[in-house]
Amino acid sequence: MKIDILTIFPEMFDGFLNTSIIKRAIQQKFVNIEIHDIRKYSKDPHKRVDDYSFGGGHGMVLMPQPIFDAVDDLKKENTKVILMTPQGIPYKQKMAYDLSLEKHIIIICGHYEGFDERIRSLADIEISIGDYVLTGGELASMVVTDSVVRLIDGVIEKESHINDSFNNNLLDYPVYTKPVNFRGMKVPDVLLSGHHANIKKFREDEAYKKTKERRPDLLEDGGRNE
């Protein structure tokens, strides 16, 4: 998979690309991630990429020319273009799975007060990671990239993500490790029994119980019936 990220703050991605699973996935060539400075596509003598909003208003607005030229330069026949914006579709695990099957993704990071409305015409999909506003789309693009890359075949073992929270509209079941008894809190006996069928049922029941207590809305969207 190839992921191109368009931003005016490429330095924000230095740590992200050189840490943990993302770093290993790049080194093992499961994914190629490139960060592109939008300013390099600006035709302004001073590499300016923003200007005041027509009609007045606070803050600066990203201009269309640099972003259109960047997408034109990078886009291929099989490219999916994503625009990170609070007005987008709420991001969910199902979307991460779908995106992990793409061959090429371009992610556009907004910033400042926003972006020229015409930039929306470039996007195949607009995504929001939550009902709040960030300084820019950089952190949101990292969230999407991380969630997608870990699902690419070979990046991590399939068993490591098949029972993730939000799969099958359920939160993940509780997990434990040593010691068996920590400050009076004990590991459930069934997990020590070695009885795989009972352990499986315990985990399924606990996942449903946790979801019902903490995120009942997920059950309304298609979780297990009582």
Domain identity same for 144 and 68: yes
Q: What is the model's pLDDT at position 226?
A: 43
Q: Tell me the pTM.
A: 0.85
Could you list the beta-strand ranges (E) of 16-72: 32-37, 50-52, 60-62
Tally of CB atoms within 10 A around 122? 19
The DSSP 8-state label assigned to residue 214 in this structure reads H
In a domain, 45, yes or no: yes
Instruction: Give the domain-ending residue among 98, 123, 149.
Output: 149
For residue 23, list its beta bridge partners.
none
What sign does the dihedral 122-94-160-164 (CA atoms) show? positive
Quick check: 165 pLDDT over 70?
Answer: no
Confidence of residue 199 (pLDDT cuts 50, 70, 90): very high
* pLDDT mean over 47-65: 89
Quick check: 33 pLDDT over 70?
Answer: yes
Helix, strand, coil % (nearest 5) of the chain?
Answer: 40, 20, 35
The type of residue at 11 is E
Place of tokens 């909003």: 53
In a domain, 211, yes or no: yes
Task: Give CA–CA dist 71/22, Å, rounded.
Answer: 24
- Overall number of domains in the chain: 2
Q: What is the model's pLDDT at position 163?
A: 54
Domain identity same for 117 and 189: no
- Tens digits of residue pLDDT in 212-224: 999 998 888 655 5
* pLDDT mean over 32-50: 95
In a domain, 225, yes or no: no
- Cis-peptide, bond into residue 45, ω within 30° of zero: no
Cβ(203)–Cβ(149) below 8 Å: no
- Tens digits of residue pLDDT in 59-114: 889 999 999 999 999 999 999 999 999 999 999 999 999 999 999 999 999 886 68
Q: Phi and psi at residue 186, in whole multiples of 5°?
A: -105, 150
Quick check: 210 pLDDT over 80?
Answer: yes
Q: What is the model's pLDDT at position 166?
A: 56
- How many Cα atoms occupy the beta-carbon half-sphere of 199 within 13 Å? 10
Higher pLDDT, 171 or 2: 2
In a domain, 20, yes or no: yes
The CATH number linked to 14 is: 3.40.1280.10
Domain identity same for 145 and 174: no
Which residue, among 105, 2, 132, 9, has the nearest Cα to 62 in the 3D structure?
A: 9
Quick check: 145 pLDDT over 80?
Answer: yes
Confidence of residue 225 (pLDDT cuts 50, 70, 90): very low
Q: Which two tokens stand for residue 124?
A: 């195949």
The CATH number linked to 198 is: 1.10.1270.20
In a domain, 143, yes or no: yes
Quick check: 159 pLDDT over 80?
Answer: no
Domain identity same for 91 and 179: no
Domain identity same for 33 and 100: yes
Q: Print the domain residue range for 9.
A: 2-149
Query: Which positions are annotated as active-site residues?
Result: 86, 113, 150, 164
Cβ(9)–Cβ(138) below 8 Å: yes
Quick check: 187 pLDDT over 70?
Answer: yes
In a domain, 154, yes or no: no
Cβ(220)–Cβ(211) below 8 Å: no
Place of tokens 């939000």: 166
Task: Give CA–CA dist 105/1, Å, rounded.
Answer: 8
Domain identity same for 179 and 128: no
Average pLDDT over all residues of the chain: 91
Cβ(84)–Cβ(137) below 8 Å: yes
